[in-house]
Structure 1
Amino acid sequence: MSTSVTPIRHSSEGKVTHRSVSARKTHSTRRTSEEIEYASQKQIKNTYINRMRIFMAPYFAEFLGTAVFVLMGCGANLTYTVMTTNAQSAWLGNAFGWGFGLILGIFVAGGVSGAMLNPAVTIAFAGYRGLPWIQVPFYILAEFAGAFVGALLAYACFAHSLDPFDGYHRQIGGPFGSAGAFGNFARPFIGNGAAFLSEAVGTGLLVIGILAITDMNNFPARSSTPLAIGFLLTGLALSIGYPTGYSYNPARDLGPRCAAAIWYGPGVFTYHGSYTWVPVAAPFAGSIVGATVYELFIVSKRAVIVDDDSYVASEHSSISLE
């Protein structure tokens, strides 16, 4: 009996051993193939081209978002310019054109770059929302370049519509002037000082609104953020934008103004008392003031007083209190 039982036991044990060895070999083979695949993917990620693509992604997104924004906005301006028979309705459409352009620009770039689309907003986010200062010049350059390209595309779309309007003669001002559809000019009866104040106040309100809409400790718009910011710009255009044409964005003005110089000449920089500096400098000033006012006075659970000498900063606070 013993001699008959022993071989069966050995055979059974041998089969188990054989299966376990096969399982280990299969597992080892799978692990080796996964390691090779991971190493291959890592090698691809470490290539120079891919590193450049990853580095450039947010700036290209900012460029494309700004180009879309300015293309639609300048298109709305040009529509307002050539539709002289119903100026009131055209002004309303102009405001919505810029607002919808901003909505689409944010949808295009928001998930990659944050879609600031405005150097003044970029400065505010660098100062109070943790955007690294080393990235600021790249973002601003992308925004100016996007605005320039967006204005070129808008002109290409409207060139033939402008021909019967101005008789094939591009003019900066006057009844047949159309350069203001690109770079903003204040109304003829408004001086540069009053225009600076108007642009600074408007930009300050824009930045306060954007900070409030995106503040997780306040009343954030969350998934409807693009809509909220777009309608914010439309509301500012309809309420206080008339005196200067509501630039509120250095890139949105200077980029298209540089594009307009191709067809209208260098006079676009000196027209209306060298007005060019106003829509560039005023938004920066208004942005700094607006962002500072929001951070100082709209605390919104940003800090909770524990006792007379200590503070507890909230988790999502953009500033730290010690």
Structure 2
Amino acid sequence: MSSSDIFLGETIGTAVLILLGGGVCAAVTLKSSKARGAGWLAITFGWGFAVMTAVYMTASLSGAHLNPAVTVGIAVKTGEWGDVPVYVAGQMLGAMIGAALVWVAYYGQFLAHLTDPETVGDKPIEGPGPVLGIFSTGPEIRNTWQNLATEIIGTVVLVLAVLTQGLNDSGKGLGVLGALITAFVVVSIGLSLGGPTGYAINPARDLGPRIVHALLPLPNKGGSDWSYAWIPVVGPLVGGALAAGIYKLAFA
């Protein structure tokens, strides 16, 4: 596959991933959304189906990594690093496009949520509510080593699943069955390991939308939590490399 195919495939695929994944977060979170309050189960399955849709859509173009941690894991496994910058550039651009499209699709709901007073029962509360969580992840308890470890552990599970079950014949991306398996792995990670940090398990998925959140002209949107932002980048990259190391030791 050519560099242009890789870049285009990763851009389109990651944009679809974030549009559908961020979209379910917006649907569950924002006022005047028909799905508001649907809960964590809806979010985890929404992200799983987002992965499945994006992978099936773009696997023929780029192998559908859609995640720098997956790209690093495959590079460590194969020893081929030449296309890694192209993959990551497409993933970051796609993540930002997808986040912007979520904003467009839920524009009215964002305004209603951010300009109407928040309430708990009949009592008003201050602040915009968990709007940043539509775009990027954050911990329920801020503990640096635990938050980092959680992201590493979740990403090891994801990338090891990709490496052991999901690669196509070329070894550079997900096969047909692997896409379905990976989608359910993402659901499983969300249900089992998503509680502490929101399971970024993908640096582009977190950093790209966080940048978009910082840039969007939304009133009262709150900060972008840059002090935490390195954890969902470094943790998944470490996890991807560790998963490849485990694969080479145990399965190769």
- TM-score, normalization by structure 2: 0.85
Quote the Cα distance in structure 2 between the aligned partners of 1:223 and 1:215. Answer: 9
Residue pair 1:209, 1:232 contacting (<8 A) in 2 also = yes
Partner amino acid, structure 1, of 2:133: G
TM-superposed deviation, 1:86:
7.1
In terms of fraction of residues, the more helix-rich structure is 1
Distance change >3 Å, CA 196–CA 208, structure 1 → 2: same
Match of 2:145 in 1: 193
Q: State the alpha-carbon separation in 1 of the partners of residues 222 and 134 from structure 2.
A: 16
Matched, 1:242 2:190: no
| Contact 1:253 1:280 (C-alpha < 8 Å) held by counterparts | yes
Query: Are positions 1:119 and 2:74 aligned together?
Result: no
Q: What is the CA-CA distance between 1:287 and the residue it aligns to?
A: 0.9
Alignment partner of 2:180 out of 203, 212, 227 = 227
In 1: Cα distance, 2:176 partner to 2:136 partner:
32
Residue 122 (structure 2) aligns with: none
Query: Are residue 99 (structure 1) and residue 48 (structure 2) matched?
Result: yes
Amino acid of the structure 2 residue aligned with 1:151: A
SS in structure 1 at match of 2:66? coil
Instruction: Report how far residue 230 of structure 1 moved.
Output: 0.8
How far off its partner does 1:213 sit? 1.2
Indicate whether 1:183 and 2:136 are aligned: yes
- Indicate the residue corresponding to 1:74 in structure 2: 22
1:239 to partner: Cα distance: 0.8
Read off the aligned partner of 2:241 and give its amino acid letter: I
Residue 232 of structure 2: which of 256, 279, 286 is its match?
279
2:93 and 2:163 map into 1 onto residues whose CA distance is 25
Q: CA deviation at 1:71?
A: 0.5
Match of 1:296 in 2: 249
Residue 224 of structure 1, CA deviation: 2.1
Q: Which runs of 5+ in 1 are unaligned?
A: 1-52, 300-322
Structure 1 residues 178 and 215, CA gap change in structure 2 (3 angstroms)? closer
Q: Secondary structure at the match of 1:177?
A: coil
Work out the CA distance in 1 between the residues paired with 2:189 and 2:84: 26
Aligned to 2:166: 214
Q: Does 1:161 align with 2:109?
A: yes
Report if the CA contact (8 A) 1:249-1:280 is conserved.
yes
The residue identity in structure 2 corresponding to 1:79 is: A
Using a 3 Å threshold, how does the CA distance of structure 1 residues 165 and 214 change in structure 2: closer, same or farther? same
Match of 2:11 among 55, 60, 63: 63
How many residues get paired? 236
CA contact (8 A) 1:76 1:93 kept: yes
**CA–CA distance in structure 1, aligned partners of residues 116 and 214 of structure 2:** 16
151 and 68 in structure 1: CA distance in 2 versus 1, 3 angstrom threshold: same
Displacement of 1:57: 1.8
The equivalent residue for 1:304 is: none
Residues 150-170 of structure 1: per-residue CA shift (max 9 Å, x gap): 000011111211222232699
Alignment gaps of 5+ in structure 2? 119-125
CA contact (8 A) 2:15 2:94 kept: yes
Structure 2 CA distance for aligned equivalents of residues 269 and 190 of structure 1: 12
Q: 1:295 to 1:103 in 2, by over 3 A?
A: same
Inter-CA distance 288–54: structure 2 relative to 1 (3 Å threshold): closer
TM-score (norm 1): 0.67
Give the match's secondary structure for 2:228.
Answer: helix
Over 3 Å counting, the alpha-carbon distance change for 1:181 and 1:164 in structure 2 is same
Aligned 8 A contact 2:29 2:36 in 1 = no
2:156 corresponds, among 204, 215, 220, to 204
Higher Cα Rg, which structure: 1
Q: 1:142 aligns with which of 84, 90, 100?
A: 90
Identity %: 32
Q: Which has the higher contact order (CA 8 A, sep 6+)?
A: 2
